[in-house]
Structure 1
């Protein structure tokens, strides 16, 4: 047996290409919807930040600020709810008998 085959760095180097994105991969509709959801979440947070900065400098509309904050709150609450459901599902999987 060759001692080099037991090296952790060799194993890591061999597994590393598995973590890279396949350029020929075409996303499924579910993957596309999830990606769009993440992009919408990010856009909502960025727009709310811009409105907040504008309002703090005295140039913004207070009604726009309240609306942006409400949208951000809803987006964050939705993200937290989804995260909690994913964690619950993971915990259920861990409780399954082997």
Structure 2
């Protein structure tokens, strides 16, 4: 059950958001870990197919598709990293 669903169901029961502060953090951490693991798998698949393509053991269309998918994944990871750094800088500039 997702955090949003839990919050929506808990709203009618009078639950306080402070009841389980670590739950959302754990879910977010799992989400990030899962996304990074998936990105790693895509990179490995692309690398494997590229090597197979060099050895002439893979279809050229598969190699091109895998490399393009790896490029998009890398661009996404870099974009997310940049946003995280930007958010961190914004937080450090906040007055206390």
Aligned residues: 73
2:35 maps to 1:34: no
Kindly report structure 1 stretches of 4+ aligned residues shifted beyond 3 Å.
none
Q: Which moves more between the two structures, 87-96 or 37-46?
A: 87-96
CA drift of 1:59 comes to: 1.3
Instruction: Tell me the CA shift for residue 57 of structure 1.
Output: 0.8
Q: Match for residue 81 of structure 1?
A: 79
Gaps of 5+ in 2: 1-22
User: Which has more radius of gyration?
Assistant: 1
Residue 95 of structure 1 and its aligned partner are, at CA, apart by: 1.5
**Distance in structure 2 (CA, Å) of the matches to 1:93 and 1:33:** 22
Please list every run of 5 or more consecutive structure 1 residues that lacks an aligned counterpart in the other structure.
1-25
Alpha carbon RMSD of aligned pairs, Å? 1.7
Q: Does 1:44 align with 2:42?
A: yes
Larger RCO (CA under 8 A, 6+ residues apart): 2
Instruction: Give me the whole-angstrom Cα distance separating, in 1, the residues matched to 2:53 and 2:81.
Output: 31
